[in-house]
Every structure is written in C-alpha cells, then in structure tokens.
Amino acid sequence: MSLPAHVYQVYIAASPEQVWAAITESEWTRRYFHATSFVAPPRPEKPYRTVTPDGRPAIEGMIDEMEPPAGGSPGRFVQTWHTLYDPDLEQEPPSRVEWTIESAADGLTLVRLVHGNLDQSPLTWENVRNGWVWILDSMKTLLETGHPLPRVRQDESVAEVLNS
Amino acid sequence: MEQGSEVFRALADPTRRALLDTLFSRDGQTLNELCEKFTEMTRFGVMKHLSVLAEADLVVTARQGRTKRHYLNPVPIEQVANRWISKYAARFTAALVALDDQVATAQKEETLRRAEPA
C-alpha cells in the first residue's frame, strides 16, 4: 500500500520574512528544531546537513528549491530528507519536505508543510508523523512569544491605554 | 471569536470526529473515498462536515492533478492541549530564557571586544 504524504498547516502571528528566517537560519532552528542547526547556510541546488549541538549528524539532503517570500508571493523551501540520527531510519531512501510560507493577513503567515515521497520509508513516515506537529507548534510558540519586537510594541500600546 | 473556538465546535460533533478517525487511519482521502465510508450521509452532508473541519484547520486539502485529497492536520489540537498543560508554559519560558542568554552572550562578547586594545 502506498503511504500518503503528511500535510500540515499552521498560522503564525509573524511576518513571512520572520518565518522564513526561522526555517532557514540556524540561530532560529537551534531554538525549536531539537536544537539542530545547519552546518553551513542552505543554498539552492546544494547539499545540506543539520547537526545536533554535540555535532552528531541529524538530517542531510539537497535543497531543491529556495525562494524566499517577496512582494506578496509565497516563499518555497524544498529539501530532500535523509535521516541520519537513527540507524534504522538511515537505511531508508530520501524523502521530500516542502515548506510554503504565505502571507495570510497583515502580521499573519500561513505555513504549510508537505512531507512526501515516503513510499519506501515507512519508518520515517511513522517517525515524523507526530514529530512535525511538535516542531510546527514549537516554531509558532517561539515566533509568537520569544521574539522581542511584537511584544514590546504590544506592551507599549497597553501602557499608553493605562497612562491615558 | 476566541482562538480555538472553531476547534471545539468542530470536535463537538461525533460524525466529524469519525471523519478525523478515518483520516487518521488513512490520510489523504478524496471526497468520494470518504463518502463511501459514510454511506448514511449524503455527499452534501460529508462536504458540510469537511468544511467545518477545514475552518477549524483540522483538515487541510492538497491537489494532486485533478484530485483533491483531505489530510488530518493535528497542529490545532496540540495548541489547544498546550494551553492547559505545563508544556506550553515551560516552552514559553524556555524561549524567553534562550533569548535572554543570547542577548547576555552577545553583550558579553561586545564588552570583551571593546575591552581589547585595537
């Protein structure tokens, strides 16, 4: 039986640019993606690898597409996905992870994640099924609560109301 | 509407929970496939329930050529759960602490850099 893709989406109260940075920059991934980071900044049509804080390999693959969100058009980050953190998962062939980052309203971004090409990777299919839910929620929480700028602005407006 | 209300409304109905169960056991089904499993309902009825689930973001659709497939999106359920379990608070604090640490480290590095004779 063929294995369906995993498809998730989440709305995040942040700009598409902030979400793009959270997905593609190690300073951000380190803070919500099981502390993993890119060995080198990802580049389109180049291989990439992520590692855990102690330097052990986590994921490797190719960046198939890397188009940041710009001028209202959605951002696309497409990577092949070969798991290295588990010897059993490592035996399975690479799958494909597609991120789409789209502005939903002012200050609100829709993130859609499709993890497909999992037909030959039943263990990976099972492993990432709940994993992505946690990652996406964790990213949302970080962007919405850990980023100083929107909170400062919010606090200022509350202070204005209280002082008026 | 309060955030999360759509999720509670969507989950309040047993048929919609059954639809989610069906997608949980096999994700990515078409409307036709779902209708075959809910023969006691009209096609319109299934569509209506799916649209309530989609409004709550619990079901997302993706097109494959001319086929529209439905996928279970558990992210909103995780968010609802995190509202009342300590995990949310822990992560909230962790994010802020991590940020504070980063700021502190950056300031320390900056101080050291300035202290160094040029």
Per-residue pLDDT of B44-87, as tens digits, reads 999 999 999 999 999 999 998 899 999 999 999 888 877 666 44
A-chain residues near B73 (CB < 8 A): 7-9
For chain B, which residues make up each domain, given as ranges? 5-75, 85-115
Identity at A14, one-letter amino acid code:
A
For the four alpha carbons of A89, A93, A98 and A99, in that order, the dihedral sign comes to positive
Residue B10 to chain A, least CA–CA distance (Å): 17
Chain A interface disruption, residue of B25, B72, B73, B82, most A CBs within 10 A: B73
Q: Would you call A5 and B28 a contact, using CB atoms and an 8 Å cutoff?
A: yes
ipTM over 0.85: no
> In this structure, is residue A58 part of a structural domain?
yes
Does the pLDDT value for residue A151 go beyond 80? no
**The tokens of B35 are what?**
């209708």
- Domain with A96 in it: what CATH number? 3.30.530.20
Number of domains in chain A: 1
Average of per-residue pLDDT across A13-22 = 96
Tell which CATH architecture fits domain B5-75: Orthogonal Bundle (1.10)
Residue A101 lies in a domain: yes
Of A10, A142, A148, the CB nearest to B75: A10
Residue A1 within any structural domain of the chain? no
- Could you tell me the pLDDT band of residue A138, with boundaries at 50, 70 and 90? confident
Helix (H), strand (E) counts: chain B:
6, 3
Pick among A145, A149, A155 to test the B interface (most B CBs inside 10 A)? A145
Q: Do A5 and B75 touch (CB under 8 A)?
A: no
What token pair was written down for A80?
A: 């092949």
Contact B92 A138 (CB under 8 A): no
Query: Taking each helix axis from N to C terminus, what angle separates B86-115 and B75-84, rounded to the nearest 10 degrees?
Result: 90
Instruction: Answer yes or no: is A154 within a domain.
Output: yes
Domain of residue A159, residue span: 6-163
Residue A44 inside a domain? The answer is yes
pLDDT in tens, A24-77: 999 999 988 988 999 999 999 999 999 999 999 999 999 999 999 998 899 999
Q: Which two tokens stand for residue A69?
A: 């969100």
Which member of A8, A133, A142 has the closest CB to residue B95? A142
Is residue A112 within 8 A of residue A9, CB to CB? The reply is: yes
In a domain, A133, yes or no: yes
The winner for highest mean pLDDT among A137-146, A154-163, B41-50 is: B41-50
Q: Which residue of B has its CA nearest to A135?
A: B75
